[in-house]
């Protein structure tokens, strides 16, 4: 067998499907605090602080400070950590839905003017809606429509008919190739998996909705939206390869909150950015304790949350040929870029008079393409 230290292998292009989201909240002339999040009764409430920096190279910058939630009976709810931060989680699972709530903010350093303390308006808790249905459809003709379409139906007997939702995604996938051998850096030898599934063959990925869904029921008496298309997933993505899971969390919001978020949505559509508020037209419900005229971006709502989930499987469209997502294993004669032994796997051991077949680790290690070995405790498949 060839000496591993002389290994060279062709350059490969890895496949992946995880992307980062950076809120694009900007304006040409107004510097101000940006507050994102909601008070979720019976759940964990999350908040982030940032600021619009119109004259800097970065339009949005993190802001450090402290946040807490108050109720109208004098109760206070704090994050676990008392350290200054730009992101926070506050446990509201035991909070009463019969109280009014507001968010309080103290900044470590002023963002605009001399203000450091901010408060949202007091809000009554919106009752939880009912998720009538979470479903998906697909077409058998993948050339016309290769997507899985996810649909949501919501109703509310008591509420404004305005709904907002977020979702969490988890998907199991595996590497493009099943490795047959591996390099042991301790003994500096190639060893066989001997029929075992390689430990880095199966992985999981996690993601969240990058922008909350928003809808209003106008044609049904303000109580229900039916079969609302909220997500399309390409069946050729790794999300559909093995098993996909989605959990949707929905809540009612007030008409004022809807109008605020809808104004940002409309402004975003017309300007091409995700969110580009005009301070003269879009006013939230968070204000400086010292300067009520200071512009603050954000709207804090208090709501109860309802959730549902589902799995999707067996809808993956594999590549037309094996190795369609990544380059195929190659022989020594096909290798171009030298790599260390730790960067490659011996894919197929050939007789002494034939060249062995090697493959880049990105083709056989699921963690090298954005996956993690952290398996959800409720996951139904036995994959490890």
**pLDDT of 274 strictly over 60:** no
What would the mean pLDDT of 329-337 be, rounded to a whole number? Answer: 48
Mean pLDDT of 35-55: 90
pLDDT tens digits, one per residue of 77-92: 999 999 999 999 999 9
Q: Average pLDDT in the 246-273 region?
A: 80
Mind giving me the DSSP string for 58-123? Answer: SSEEE--EEEEEEETTS-EE--S--S-BSEEEEE-TT--TTSEEEEEEEESS-SSTT--EEEEPPE
pLDDT at 354: 63
* pLDDT(219) > 60: no
Higher pLDDT, 195 or 325: 195
Residue 161 has pLDDT above 90, yes or no: no
Q: Is 1 exposed, middle or buried (0-12, 13-18, 19+ CB in 10 A)?
A: exposed
Give the number of other Cβ atoms within 10 Å of residue 372's Cβ.
11
Taking a C-beta distance cutoff of 8 angstroms, is the pair 30, 295 a contact? yes
pLDDT at 374 over 80: yes
For residues 335 and 91, which has the higher predicted lDDT (pLDDT)? 91
pLDDT class of 350 with cuts at 50, 70, 90: low
Q: Which has the higher per-residue pLDDT, 333 or 183?
A: 183
Out of 47-61, 140-154, 180-194, 272-286, the most confident range is 140-154
Whether the predicted pLDDT of 373 surpasses 60: yes
pLDDT tens digit sequence for 6-30: 222 222 222 222 222 233 444 445 6
Placement of tokens 């989201």 in the chain: 21
Lowest mean pLDDT among 34-48, 99-113, 307-321: 307-321
How high is the pLDDT of residue 152?
A: 96
Q: Is the dihedral of CA 335, 341, 346, 347 positive or negative?
A: negative
Q: For residue 13, what pLDDT is reported?
A: 23
Task: Please tell me the predicted confidence (pLDDT) of residue 177.
Answer: 84
Q: Does position 146 have pLDDT exceeding 90, yes or no? A: yes
What confidence category does residue 221 fall into, taking pLDDT thresholds of 50, 70 and 90? Answer: low
CA-CA distance, 268 to 251, in Å (whole number)?
23
Q: What is the mean pLDDT of the chain?
A: 81
Residue 91 neighbours by CB distance under 10 Å = 13
Q: Which of 239-253, 260-274, 306-320, 323-337 has the highest mean pLDDT?
A: 239-253
What is the pTM assigned to this prediction?
A: 0.80
Q: Which two tokens stand for residue 79?
A: 């994050």
Least trusted range by pLDDT, from 245-249, 283-287, 323-327, 370-374 = 323-327
Q: With bands split at pLDDT 50, 70 and 90, how would you rate the model's confidence at 308? A: very high
> How far is Cα 189 from Cα 173, in angstroms, rounded to an integer?
29
pLDDT of residue 170: 98
Tell me which of 66-75, 172-181, 198-207, 330-339 is least confident: 330-339
Residue 351's pLDDT is 66
Region 240-253: mean pLDDT is 96
Distance CA 384, CA 382 (A): 6
Distance CA 135, CA 139 (A): 14
More confident of the two residues 191 and 56: 191
* Rounded-to-10 torsion of CA 307, 313, 315, 318: 130
């Amino acid at each position: 067998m060839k000496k591993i230290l002389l290994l060279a292998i062709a350059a490969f292009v890895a496949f992946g499907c995880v992307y980062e989201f950076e809120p694009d909240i900007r304006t040409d002339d107004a510097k101000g605090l940006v507050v994102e999040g909601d008070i979720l009764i019976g759940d964990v409430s999350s908040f982030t602080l940032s600021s619009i920096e119109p004259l800097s190279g970065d339009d949005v910058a993190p802001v450090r400070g402290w946040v807490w939630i108050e109720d109208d009976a004098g109760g206070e709810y704090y994050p676990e950590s008392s350290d200054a931060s730009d992101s926070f989680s506050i446990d509201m699972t035991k909070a009463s839905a019969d109280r009014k709530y507001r968010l309080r903010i103290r900044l470590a350093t002023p963002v605009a003017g001399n203000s450091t303390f901010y408060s949202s308006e007091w809000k009554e808790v919106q009752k939880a809606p009912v998720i009538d249905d979470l479903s998906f459809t697909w077409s058998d003709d993948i050339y016309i429509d290769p997507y899985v379409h996810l649909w949501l139906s919501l109703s509310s007997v008591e509420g404004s008919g305005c709904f907002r939702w977020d979702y969490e995604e988890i998907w199991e996938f595996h590497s493009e190739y099943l490795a047959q051998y591996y390099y042991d850096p301790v003994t500096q030898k190639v060893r066989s998996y001997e029929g075992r599934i390689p430990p880095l063959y199966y992985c999981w990925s996690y993601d969240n909705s990058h922008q909350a869904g928003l809808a209003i029921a106008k044609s049904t008496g303000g109580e229900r939206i039916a079969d609302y298309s909220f997500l399309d997933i390409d069946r050729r993505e790794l999300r559909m390869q093995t098993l996909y899971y989605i959990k949707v969390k929905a809540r009612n919001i007030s008409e004022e909150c809807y109008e605020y978020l809808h104004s940002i949505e409309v402004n975003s559509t017309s300007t091409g950015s995700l969110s580009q508020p005009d301070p003269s037209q879009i006013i939230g419900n968070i204000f400086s304790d010292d300067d009520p005229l200071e512009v603050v971006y954000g709207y804090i709502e208090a709501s109860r949350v309802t959730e549902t989930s589902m799995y999707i499987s067996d809808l993956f469209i594999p590549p037309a040929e094996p190795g369609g997502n990544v380059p195929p294993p190659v022989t020594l004669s096909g290798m171009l870029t030298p790599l260390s032994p730790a960067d490659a796997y011996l894919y197929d051991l050939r007789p002494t008079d034939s060249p062995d077949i090697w493959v880049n680790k990105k083709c056989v290690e699921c963690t090298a393409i954005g996956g993690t070995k952290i398996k959800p405790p409720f996951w139904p498949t036995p994959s490890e």
